[in-house]
Structure 1
Amino acid sequence: MNKRVLILHGLGGSDFPHWQAQLARDLIKQNTTVSFPALPSRENPSLEEWKEFVKKEIEHFKPTVIVCHSLANILWFHICEELDINLDKLMLVAPVRINCDIEEIKEFFPYPIPSDLKSKEVIMAASTNDPYMNVEEAIRLQSKLKVGMKLLEEAGHINADSGYGRLDCALDWINREIECRENSGDLNK
């Protein structure tokens, strides 16, 4: 079966040079079918509006792989149990702590911890110095979700502002060529 990769951004989007934009480009270059939609009102999102948008996108696009960053992880936690879907892979990158107090996204919190992430394979990636989720919070979330985790050294929020214009291990994981190197600050080795 051909991979169909849906990439979901967080607050403010993931415009180039963000790793999600580069991942979309790299997947397209290898002829993988990709959907990388701009979610509505991305600077001041509405949970209900995002939920409805993503549900329609999933119904239309029928992804086999979903890649979430930041607030998109929280969106997935809110909607996954409402969906009739069984993904091959789900990547959760830089989720946000359960009690986040950013005004523009307060309606997303607190979020549910889903008992079924609707995927055969799930990986979570977190950072040792993410301002939106510390290591202890990441480990607690990983444990509650019962998923594997890659902990990246000093990777910030794993975005372009933190120096991640590329995240080669995301492409590698989707392609199953190699796995992300655990606890590695440089994912391009």
Structure 2
Amino acid sequence: MTRKVLIVPGLNGSGEGHWQRFWLEDFEEAQLVEQADWTNPEAGRWQQGLEAAIRDNPGAIIVAHSLGTILVARLANSPVASLVGCALLVAPADIERTSALHARSYEFGRIPTDPLPFPAQVVASRDDVYMSLEKAVALAKSWQAPLFDAGYVGHINVASGFGRWVEGYELARQVADRCHERPQRATQAQAQLRSF
């Protein structure tokens, strides 16, 4: 069995230079979860796209950023949640702050607080303008996912100086080791994570 790495961006799709784009190049088994409209997020449509990718790739490792982490949290009560191997949730975004920062209203529903039924790791920053560390800590607790405090590193994106983000590979390795239904031998995706 080969485990896919599903890359789940947030608003505007993690463009050129974003660490998620580099990870797509770095991992042979990585696949971008595409959305029809990256600039106008619709929770229902985005969730349908993510669920379809999970159905096609059961046991996948999900690597989400920003609003993508909130999308993954919406899976808590979805029938496809049992198909998720594990998830790395980087720099969660508060939709109200996102709307304020971009001077427009985004409708993405409330931030889910139900426990995640799959292993997950939250990565948060102390000075992320999209979500306070306090709120990220509370969310991680609600999701029953450990939180890694990345320090004063902004939104962990291009604007805050992140390119390939090789330090993130270790966090990905840690969550991959806790994936559901882990095969006896390391999968290709997990083996690649160990090579960095």
TM-score norm. by structure 2 comes to 0.78
Q: Which has the higher strand share?
A: 1
**Could you list the runs of 5+ residues in structure 2 that have no partner in the other structure?**
178-196
After the TM superposition, which residues 1-189 of structure 1 pair with which residues of structure 2 at under 5 Å, given as runs? 1-28=1-28, 33-84=29-80, 85-97=82-94, 99-100=96-97, 102=99, 106-115=106-115, 117-119=116-118, 121-176=119-174
In 2, the alpha carbon distance for the partners of 1:118 and 1:48 equals: 20
Shift of the 105–63 alpha-carbon distance from structure 1 to 2, 3 Å rule, reads farther
CA shift, 1:34, in A, is 1.7
Structure 1 residues without counterparts, runs of 5 or longer: 180-189
Q: 1:185 maps to what in 2? A: none
Kindly indicate whether structure 1 or structure 2 has the higher relative contact order, using CA contacts under 8 Å at least 6 residues apart. Answer: 2
CA distance, structure 1, for counterparts of residue 32 and residue 98 of structure 2: 27
Which shows bigger deviation, 57-66 or 10-19? Answer: 57-66
SS of aligned partner of 2:169: helix
Q: 1:3 to 1:129 in 2, by over 3 A?
A: same
State the TM-score, normalizing by the size of structure 1.
0.80
Q: Which has the higher helix share?
A: 2
Q: How large is the RMSD of aligned CA atoms in angstroms?
A: 2.3
Which ranges of 4 or more aligned residues in structure 1 deviate by more than 4 Å?
Answer: none
**Amino-acid identity (%):** 28
Aligned residues: 172
Matched residue SS, 1:124: strand
